[in-house]
C-alpha cells in the first residue's frame, strides 16, 4: 500500500473566536448546561466547554466539602493543551462550604493564571453592580447548608431579609423542581419584602428564564446561580454584549473585581 500524503488544510478558531470558557459542572447537575447554553446562545464566537466533577446526590456540608479534592483533576480534563479566558465552577453551596479562594486555588493548579468564578462569586459581583445590600434568598437546600449560605452573605455585609427553601437534599430531585414552583415561591414569599435583590440559589434550579418575568412582577433586581454565573463568565472573558431581554444584570457591566 502506498503511503498517503497529508491533505492540505487551514486552521481557524471560529467557534471560540471571542471567548473560550470552561465550566466544571457537578456530575449530579441536570440543569446548568441547559441554562448556560440558553443564556449564551446568541453570542457568536463565545463557546462553553464543560467537564464534570464527581458529586454525591445528597447535598450536605460533608459531600460538598469532599469535592475540593477532585477539582484539580476535573479541571485538567478541560480541553487539555488549550488555554481559557475564564473557568466557572458550577456549585453555589460548595463554593461557600469550601471557600471561593480554595476553589480558585484548586482550579489554578490545573489552569494557572486563568480567571475563575463561581455562582457565589458572581452573585457578589451582581450585588456590587446593583449596589445591593439586602437580599431575599430562595434555595433547595437543607438547613445545615442554608445556614452556611446566610452566614456567608452576612459576613460580607449583605443582609438576608428573608430566606425560603424547598428543603430537598437530593440533587437529582432538585433539578426536577418545576419553574412554576419556583415562580410561585418567589412571588408568594418575597412580594411584600423590601430587598435590593432576589437571589435564587443553586445551579440545579430551573430559574434563569424566569428572571425577566420576576423582575417585572416584583419590580426588583433578580438573579439566579446560573444567571449570575453566565453573566460573570461573559464579562470576565471580555464579552460586554448587552442583552436586556435576559434581565437587568445582562445590561450591566462589572463595577468591581470580586
Query: Concatenated DSSP letters for 21-63?
Result: EEEEEETT-SSHHHHHHHHHTT-TTEEEEEEEE---SB--HHH
pLDDT at 193: 95
pLDDT at 2: 79
Pairwise CA distance, residues 20 & 160, whole Å: 35
> Is 174 in the same domain as 95?
no
pLDDT at 258: 41
> Is 66 in the same domain as 147?
no
Within-domain flag for 11: no
DSSP strand E in 84-227: where?
86-90, 115-117, 134-139, 159-165, 197-200, 221-224
Within-domain flag for 3: no
> Is 208 in the same domain as 81?
no
Within-domain flag for 82: yes
Each residue's pLDDT tens digit in the chain (258 positions)? Answer: 678 899 999 998 889 999 999 999 999 999 999 999 999 999 999 999 999 999 999 999 999 999 999 999 999 999 999 999 999 999 999 999 999 999 999 999 999 999 999 999 999 999 999 999 999 999 999 999 999 999 999 999 999 999 999 999 999 999 999 999 999 999 999 999 999 999 999 999 999 999 999 999 999 999 999 999 999 999 999 999 999 999 999 999 987 544
Range of the domain at 150: 121-224
> Is 239 in the same domain as 188?
no
> Is 87 in the same domain as 157?
no
Grid cell, residue 112, equals: 494557572
pLDDT at 172: 96
> Is 235 in the same domain as 199?
no
> Is 134 in the same domain as 193?
yes
> Is 125 in the same domain as 218?
yes
> Is 115 in the same domain as 59?
yes
Residue bearing cell 437543607: 142
CATH number assigned to the domain comprising residue 243: 3.40.50.12500
The reply to whether the predicted model has a pTM over 0.85 is yes
In the chain, the number of structural domains is 2
Closest to 42 in 3D by CA, of 204, 224, 246, 201: 246
> Is 115 in the same domain as 125?
no
Pairwise CA distance, residues 233 & 20, whole Å: 10
Within-domain flag for 9: no
Pairwise CA distance, residues 30 & 52, whole Å: 12
Report CA dihedral (7, 11, 14, 20) to the nearest 10 degrees.
120
CATH number assigned to the domain comprising residue 199: 3.40.50.1860
Within-domain flag for 10: no
Cβ atoms of residues 92 and 31 within 8 Å: no
> Is 68 in the same domain as 113?
yes
pLDDT at 256: 53
> Is 112 in the same domain as 134?
no
Amino acid at each position: 500500500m502506498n503511503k498517503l500524503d497529508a491533505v492540505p488544510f487551514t486552521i481557524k478558531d471560529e467557534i471560540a473566536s471571542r471567548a473560550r470558557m470552561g465550566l466544571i459542572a457537578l456530575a449530579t447537575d441536570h440543569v446548568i448546561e441547559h441554562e448556560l447554553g440558553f443564556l449564551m446562545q446568541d453570542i457568536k464566537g463565545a463557546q462553553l466547554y464543560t467537564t464534570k466533577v464527581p458529586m454525591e446526590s445528597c447535598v450536605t456540608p460533608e459531600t460538598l466539602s469532599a469535592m475540593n479534592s477532585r477539582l484539580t483533576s476535573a479541571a485538567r480534563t478541560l480541553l487539555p493543551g488549550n488555554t481559557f479566558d475564564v473557568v466557572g465552577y458550577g456549585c453555589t453551596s460548595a463554593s461557600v462550604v469550601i471557600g471561593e479562594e480554595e476553589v480558585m486555588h484548586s482550579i489554578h493548579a490545573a489552569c494557572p493564571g486563568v480567571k475563575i468564578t463561581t455562582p457565589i462569586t458572581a452573585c457578589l459581583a451582581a450585588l456590587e453592580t446593583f449596589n445591593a445590600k439586602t437580599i431575599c434568598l430562595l434555595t433547595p437546600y437543607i438547613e445545615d447548608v442554608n445556614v452556611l449560605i446566610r452566614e456567608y452573605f452576612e459576613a460580607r455585609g449583605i443582609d438576608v431579609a428573608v430566606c425560603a427553601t424547598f428543603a430537598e437534599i437530593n440533587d437529582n430531585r432538585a433539578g426536577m423542581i418545576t419553574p412554576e414552583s419556583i415562580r410561585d415561591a418567589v412571588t408568594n414569599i418575597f412580594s411584600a419584602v423590601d430587598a435590593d435583590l432576589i437571589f435564587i440559589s443553586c445551579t440545579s434550579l430551573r430559574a434563569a428564564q424566569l428572571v425577566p418575568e420576576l423582575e417585572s412582577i416584583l419590580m426588583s433586581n433578580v438573579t439566579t446561580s446560573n444567571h449570575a454565573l453566565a453573566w460573570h463568565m461573559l464579562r470576565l472573558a471580555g464579552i460586554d454584549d448587552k442583552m436586556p431581554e435576559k434581565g437587568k444584570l445582562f445590561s450591566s457591566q462589572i463595577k468591581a473585581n470580586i
